[in-house]
Amino acid sequence: TNQQIRVVAVSSVGCESASYGFITLSKTIPAIPTSISGPTNACTYVGQQTNANYSVVAVTGATSYLWEAPAGASIQSGQGTNAVAVSYSSTFTSGSIKVTAVANCGSRSARTLSITRLLPSSPVSITGPTSVCNYLGTGTEITYSIAAVANADSYSWTIPSGAVLVSGQGTTSVSVRFNGNYATSFIKVRAVSNCFTTGERTLQVSSATYGVPGTISGPTNACPYISNDQLAVYKIRRLNNAAGYIWTVPTGVTIFDHPGGTGANDTIIRVAYDINYVNGSAITVQATGCGTSAPRSLSVGGVIVTTPGLISGPTNACEFMESPSHPTGVTAVYKINKVFGALAYNWQAPNNATIIAHPGGNAENDTIVQIKYNSDFVNGVVRVSASNACGGSGNRSLYVSKLNPSTPSEIDVINLGTCPNRVYSYTISSMPAGATSILWTVPANGTLVSGQGTTSITVSYPTSTVSGYVTAQAINNCSGSSIRTTRVKLSACATTFTTTNNPTAKAVISDVVAFDAVVYPNPTNSSFNLKVTATKLGMVKIRIMDMQGRMVKQATMQSNEIKTIGQELRPGNYIMEMMQDQQVKAIKVIKL
DSSP string of 364-428, one letter each residue: GG--EEEEEE-TT--EEEEEEEEEETTEE-PPEEEEEE--PPPPP-PPEEEEEE-TTSEEEEEE-
Q: Quote the percentage of the chain above a pLDDT of 90.
A: 54
Which residues, 6 or more positions from 47, have their beta carbon under 8 angstroms from its beta carbon? 88, 89, 90, 194, 195
Identify any residues that bridge with 454 across adjacent strands, giving them in sequence order. Answer: none
DSSP string, 287-307: EEESEEPPPEEEE-B--PPPP
Q: For residue 388, give the nearest of 334, 336, 340 by alpha carbon.
A: 340
Cα 457 from Cα 276, distance rounded (Å): 73
Q: Residue 325 has what pLDDT?
A: 64
- Mean pLDDT score, 318-332: 81
- Is the Cβ–Cβ distance between 203 and 186 less than 8 Å? yes
Region of poorest pLDDT, from 33-37, 157-161, 416-420: 416-420
88 band by pLDDT with thresholds 50, 70 and 90: very high
- Per-residue model confidence as pLDDT tens digits over 551-584: 889 999 988 888 999 999 988 888 888 888 778 8
- Angstrom distance (rounded) from CA 344 to CA 49: 86
Residue 535 CB neighbours (<10 A) = 11
pLDDT of 505 higher than 50: no
- Using the predicted structure, report yes or no on whether residue 548 has a pLDDT greater than 80: no
**Mean pLDDT, range 54-82, rounded to an integer:** 95
Torsion of CA 270, 271, 272, 273, to 10 degrees: -140
192-196, 245-249, 323-327, 352-356, range with the lowest pLDDT: 323-327
Nearest Cα neighbor of 129 from 207, 19, 211, 51 is 207
pLDDT per position as a tens digit, 150-178: 999 899 999 999 999 999 999 999 999 99
Answer yes or no: pTM beyond 0.85.
no
- Say which DSSP state 263 is in: G
Residue 502 has pLDDT above 60, yes or no: no
Residues 6+ apart with CB under 8 A from 37: 54, 55, 56
Instruction: Please give the pLDDT value at position 280.
Output: 84
Which amino acid, one-letter code, is at 254? T
Alpha-carbon gap, residue 284 to 235, rounded angstroms: 11
> Element (H or E) spanning 158, and its range?
strand 154-158
**DSSP class of 231:** -
Give me the sheet containing 456-461, strands edge to edge.
412-417, 422-427, 456-461, 447-450
| Residue 506 binned pLDDT confidence (cut-offs 50, 70, 90) | very low
Amino acid 75 reads I
Residue 504 has pLDDT above 60, yes or no: no
Q: Which residue has the higher pLDDT, 534 or 372?
A: 372
pLDDT, mean of residues 240-269: 91
- Banded model confidence at residue 498, pLDDT cuts 50, 70, 90: very low
Pick from 180, 179, 236, 248: nearest CA to 211: 236
What confidence tier does 292 reach under pLDDT thresholds 50, 70, 90?
A: confident
Closest CA to 30 of 63, 77, 68, 79: 63
